[in-house]
Chain A
C-alpha cells in the first residue's frame, strides 16, 4: 500500500481565495511526522510545514495550515489568500518512528495553479 496518497494531480484556485490540497497517509507506527513541501517551477524543494502525530493542535505557518485528522489519516494543506507565487507543485511526506535516520515517504504531488 502507498504510504502517502495525493489524489489531486492538478488544482486551480482564484487569487486571494483559499485552497485545500489533500493528503492521506498509511502507517501503524504511533510516532510519525507529516511534512509539506513546495516545488516552484525553478525546481528547488522548499519545506513549508510540519505536523507531529502527537500534536493536539493543527500546525500553522503564516498562510499555510495543516488540517490534521488523525482518525481519518489525513493531513491536508490549506493555503489561505492564494497568491500568484503559490503556483507550484506541492508534495506531502511522512517520516515514521523514533529511530534515527528513518526514511521519508513522498506522495506524487499536486500541481497548483493560481489564476489572477
Chain B
C-alpha cells in the first residue's frame, strides 16, 4: 500500500461529460502530481502542486484543470470529454527533497463511451 488514495477506481461516462478525480496524498507529503497513461503508452505528466500552489505544468489540455486544497488532497477535473481521454489517470505524492521518490495511487481508469 503506497498510502496514496485515488477515487474512483473506475469511471465510465460519455463524450461531452465532465468528471472529477480525487486524490489523497500520503501523510506528510506536500507535493501532488497528476499523470495520464493511455493504452500501451508511457506516463504523460499533467500538472504538479506543492502545498496548494501550482508548481509545474506538463501536457495538460485546457479542458482539464486541477487544484490542491488546504488539507492537501487534490482533484483533477476533466470536461468536454472526448474518446481520446480514455486512459489511466495516476496521482502521485512525494515528500520534499530531490532524494524522495514519488508514491503512486492505484489510478483511476476512465472509459469514455
Q: Identify the A interface with B (CB < 8 A).
A: 31-33, 35, 37, 43-47, 50, 52, 91, 93, 95-104, 106-109
Chain B residues contacting A93 (CB-CB under 8 Å) are 102
Q: Is B21 an interface residue (CB 8 A)?
A: no
Interface residues of B in 48-69 (CB under 8 A from A): 48, 50-51, 55-56
- Closest-by-CB residue of B relative to A49 is B101
Taking A98-B98, A103-B45 as contacts, is the C-beta distance between A45 and B55 under 8 angstroms?
A: no
B55→A97 contact, CB < 8 A: no
Per the bound structure, the CA–CA distance linking A48 and B69 in Å amounts to 30
Chain A residues contacting B55 (CB-CB under 8 Å) are 101, 103
B98→A101 contact, CB < 8 A: no
Taking A96-B98, A100-B96, A101-B55 as contacts, is the C-beta distance between A109 and B33 under 8 angstroms?
A: no
Taking a contact as CB atoms closer than 8 A, the residue among A46, A91, A101 that contacts B31 in the complex is A101
How many chain B residues touch the partner (CB < 8 A)?
Answer: 28
* Most chain A C-beta atoms within 10 Å of own C-beta, residue among B31, B43, B98: B98
Taking a contact as CB atoms closer than 8 A, the residue among A32, A43, A103 that contacts B88 in the complex is A43
A45→B30 contact, CB < 8 A: no
A106→B43 contact, CB < 8 A: yes
Per the bound structure, the CA–CA distance linking A46 and B2 in Å amounts to 8
Taking a contact as CB atoms closer than 8 A, the residue among A32, A104, A108, A109 that contacts B102 in the complex is A104
Per the bound structure, the CA–CA distance linking A52 and B88 in Å amounts to 29
Per the bound structure, the CA–CA distance linking A98 and B100 in Å amounts to 11
Chain A residues contacting B45 (CB-CB under 8 Å) are 103-104, 106
